[in-house]
Structure 1
Amino acid sequence: MGIEGGGAPDSAFDGFPPELFSFLEGLEKDNSKSYWEANRTTWENAVQDPIGRLMSDLEPEFGPLRTFRPNRDVRFSKDKSPYKTWVGVTTSDRAVGGIGAFLRLEASGMRLACGAMALAPDQIHRFRAAIDAPAAGAEFMEIGRALADRSLPVGPGRQPPLKRVPTGFAKDHPRAEQLTWKGAVVVREYERADWMHRREALDEVRGIWNGAAPLREWIERNVGESEQPVRRPGRR
């Protein structure tokens, strides 16, 4: 995943500069070391610095945040392009099994998420048990309804749901759909807009992460962290 800690810039976050998005747009067109080296100053000043300031402003409320190394792990990939064409911030150090909040910026805009994007196998077992349990399952559905009313619908995350109810559960289970999930997350996506260049972007991140907190807290209580080893390729 290539996660690393953030810095602690002195000044407050005042938006993602337009140069951040134009840098990522250029990287999409020319994902090469020559482009990177020619634009290294832009990366440092228009990408790293504002991301660091954002993290510093959010950490008092959300705890330690991590960002992602720009280099891709291409050892087992057919795509050998050397750099990620996005930048991100997360509260978790797990790609699979992480519970928390996430921000991703790319040339076209921004994505915010909160919950569990991809549960690890041991977590999936506990998630299904909680969904099956009358009290915990009913609470999950109530949280889902409340968040949907606030335009924060809960979805199954990155991994495709099962095509049928897993073995051991009734086919007509009242929460049959949720039993097929391998994650539970709120995702909000935004097309690139001028407000992202101002401090409003911080308010939006904080609002979505706090708004979806009931889902994250339910997962933390009823599923918990994965007991499987954490894999951190390329972490510093």
Structure 2
Amino acid sequence: MAFTGFPPEAIDFYEQLGADNSKAFWEENKQRFVMNVKSPMTELTSALDDYGPFKMFRPHNDLRFSKNKPPYKTHQGAFGELEGGSGHYMQFSADGMMAAAGYFFMGKDQLKRFRDAVVADATGEEIEALVAAATGRRYTVGAIGELKTAPRGYDRDHPRIALIRRKGLMLSKDFGTPKWIHTKQVETKVRECWEGAKDVCDWLDAHVGPSTEPPGDRPF
């Protein structure tokens, strides 16, 4: 079926899951999740397949290394990685819709290439300007994390040290819960977000590219 938006019941489901994140609630309401969240997200990934193929994340949290996590995620995400290396992510939750593009997490090999390109004046000044312009267009600049100081081998007083300390580079927009999230306009808004981040993604693909590390060592 064609994507027509996320129904209001999808928000209701996540609000209730947030209040009762238990196996009993999940088992009783799993079909609501499938109908109101999983099915529309599957249809949306199909509509945006030119940025995919997409992987939809499991609704269950991995509790092996953190016993304090709730058993079920209170959002549904989907991630696609293009051949050049840039990733495209979208997420739906009770807080609404968000979309992101870039390199949220970089492997060790990617970090080396990224930092060296940021240090070099020509490429470094270019990405600095692109990120500043994206901020002006109301993108949030993020990553999986960043170092508190300069990484080993890099000057802590470098003029672009804020970029050098990053462990990734991603642009995102949080759309909230406007009425259009219940319509097919979601596809347009997500696509516009990704298109607006294309210049940063193109820079990353050109100067960083995909990781050659084993997939098991990366979060995606």
- Same fold, judged at TM 0.5 (above): yes
Task: Give a deviation string over 1:129-158, Cα, whole Å, max 9, x none.
Answer: 1101122112212322332332225x2412
Equivalent residue runs for 1:96-175 within 5 Å = 99-153=86-140, 155-159=141-145, 161-175=146-160
Please tell me whether the aligned partners of residues 138 and 173 of structure 2 are also in contact (alpha carbons under 8 angstroms): no
- Give the corresponding residue for 1:207: 192
- Which of 172, 188, 193 is the equivalent residue of 2:178? 193
Q: Does 1:30 align with 2:15?
A: no
Please tell me whether the aligned partners of residues 66 and 92 of structure 1 are also in contact (alpha carbons under 8 angstroms): no
Identical amino acids, percent of aligned pairs: 36
- Give the corresponding residue for 2:72: 83
Give the superposed CA RMSD: 2.2
- TM-score after normalising by structure 1: 0.83
Q: Which amino acid aligns with 1:201?
A: V
Q: Which amino acid aligns with 1:135?
A: A
| Residue aligned with 1:91, SS | strand
Please list every run of at least 4 consecutive aligned residues from structure 1 whose deviation after the TM superposition is greater than 4 angstroms: none
Please tell me whether the aligned partners of residues 61 and 70 of structure 2 are also in contact (alpha carbons under 8 angstroms): yes
| Residue aligned with 2:162, SS | helix
Equivalent residue runs for 1:43-62 within 5 Å = 43-59=33-49, 61-62=50-51
| Residue aligned with 1:231, SS | helix
Please tell me whether the aligned partners of residues 75 and 93 of structure 2 are also in contact (alpha carbons under 8 angstroms): yes
- For structure 1, the residue ranges without an aligned partner over 5 or more in a row are 1-10
Structure 1 pair 71–139 and aligned structure 2 pair: CA distance change class (3 A) = same
Aligned length: 217
- Give the corresponding residue for 1:6: none
Task: Give a deviation string over 1:79-112, Cα, whole Å, max 9, x none.
Answer: 253211110111149xxxx731111111122221
| Residue aligned with 2:92, SS | strand
- Which of 64, 67, 71 is the equivalent residue of 2:60? 71
**Rounded Cα–Cα distance in structure 2 between residues aligned with 1:156 and 1:90:** 16
| Residue aligned with 1:39, SS | helix
Q: Which amino acid aligns with 2:73?
A: K
**Rounded Cα–Cα distance in structure 2 between residues aligned with 1:156 and 1:16:** 26
**Rounded Cα–Cα distance in structure 2 between residues aligned with 1:34 and 1:163:** 42
> 1:176 deviation in Å?
2.2
Q: Which amino acid aligns with 1:210?
A: E
- For structure 2, the residue ranges without an aligned partner over 5 or more in a row are none
